[in-house]
């Protein structure tokens, strides 16, 4: 029987019955417990799947990503916490590295970060803006907390952070259509933040930033090595940069007057 590590897996989840099983399978055998804060209104079977893996499920109203993640962390007994999303899978290589990191006594770390590799359009994306996409997810309890501006929750760590080399596998975008649908709320949040800060969009943001994003992702960060998906990712990054800045300019337009 595989030895269980003193790690609490903490997750927040919405309606994820179609993919959360793969995530739970990757950690259930070697972690001590799984704690999930589930959106109160979810009724798609996510809770039933989670409980099959021994997870403790707490239904709570949505408080935003920061609030939900902190709520899940508070419920974990620790001493180590591993935060995961329902579209992420811990690879066997990463699980082995985590085991060594948690058992390390020399030069102890408060937290660890590791690369996240995304599966997109039939291949693993290993270049461009999407890789290595390092994320901080493994940390000692009571030494870190979630903060940041919605929807971009960030783990603030008090102490030294170590680096692991193996990948966290990311199945976030099931199709191009799914990805495009996800972008719109992020654009709206970007516009709200810019307007709240009193920031306008200049000609530089509209004419220089978009092509620079493409050139950086496709050429400087070798996105061309990822085939046509690499080209599309770089082009979409440029388009997204142009669109959200144009939306800020649009929001600052004077209201129309009668002709």
Q: Which residue has the tokens 């800060």?
A: 197
Both 189 and 156 in one domain: the answer is no
**Which pLDDT does position 105 carry in this prediction?**
72
**Which pLDDT does position 3 carry in this prediction?**
80
- The answer to whether residues 58 and 119 touch, using CB atoms and an 8 Å cutoff, is no
Show the domain range for 246: 176-251
Both 165 and 184 in one domain: the answer is no
- The answer to whether residues 145 and 81 touch, using CB atoms and an 8 Å cutoff, is no
Asked, for residue 74, whether it belongs to a domain, the answer is: yes
Cis peptide, bond prior to residue 132, ω within 30 of zero: yes
- Does residue 165 register a pLDDT over 80? yes
**Which pLDDT does position 152 carry in this prediction?**
84
- Does residue 249 register a pLDDT over 70? yes
Spatial separation of the C-alpha atoms in residues 140 and 128, rounded to whole Å: 31
* CATH code at position 72: 3.90.550.10
Tell how strand 116-120 and strand 5-13 pair up: unpaired
Spatial separation of the C-alpha atoms in residues 129 and 174, rounded to whole Å: 18
Spatial separation of the C-alpha atoms in residues 75 and 56, rounded to whole Å: 10
Give mean pLDDT, residues 175-182.
90
Asked, for residue 117, whether it belongs to a domain, the answer is: yes
**Which pLDDT does position 32 carry in this prediction?**
96
What is the dihedral sign for C-alpha 148, 152, 158, 159?
Answer: negative
Residue 100's nearest CA partner among 159, 162, 55, 158 is 162
Tell how strand 111-114 and strand 123-125 pair up: unpaired
Using pLDDT thresholds of 50, 70 and 90, give the confidence band for residue 114: very high
Asked, for residue 48, whether it belongs to a domain, the answer is: yes
Both 130 and 48 in one domain: the answer is yes
What is the dihedral sign for C-alpha 159, 161, 162, 168?
Answer: positive
């Amino acid at each position: 029987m595989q030895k269980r590590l003193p790690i609490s897996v903490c997750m927040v989840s919405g309606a994820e019955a179609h993919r959360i099983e793969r995530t739970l399978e990757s950690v259930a055998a070697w972690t001590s417990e799984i704690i999930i804060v589930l959106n109160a209104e979810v009724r798609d079977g996510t809770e039933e799947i989670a409980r099959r893996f021994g997870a403790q499920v707490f239904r709570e109203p949505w408080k935003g990503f920061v609030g939900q993640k902190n709520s899940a962390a508070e419920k974990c007994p620790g001493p180590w916490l591993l935060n995961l999303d329902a579209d992420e899978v811990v690879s066997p290589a990463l699980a082995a590295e985590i085991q060594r990191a948690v058992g390390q006594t020399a030069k102890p770390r408060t937290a660890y970060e590791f690369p996240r590799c995304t599966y997109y359009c039939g291949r693993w994306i290993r270049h461009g803006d999407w890789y290595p996409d390092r994320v901080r997810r493994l940390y000692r309890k009571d030494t870190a907390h979630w903060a940041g501006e919605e929807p971009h929750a960030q783990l603030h760590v008090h102490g030294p952070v170590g680096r692991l080399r193996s990948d966290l596998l990311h199945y976030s975008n099931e199709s191009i259509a799914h990805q495009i649908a996800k972008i719109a709320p992020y654009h709206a949040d970007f516009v709200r933040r810019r307007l709240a800060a009193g920031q306008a969009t200049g000609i530089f943001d509209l004419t220089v930033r978009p092509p620079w994003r493409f050139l950086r992702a496709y050429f400087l960060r070798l996105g061309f090595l990822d085939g046509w998906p690499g080209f599309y990712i770089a082009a979409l990054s440029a388009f997204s940069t142009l669109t959200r800045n144009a939306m800020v300019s649009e929001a600052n337009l004077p209201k129309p007057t009668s002709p």
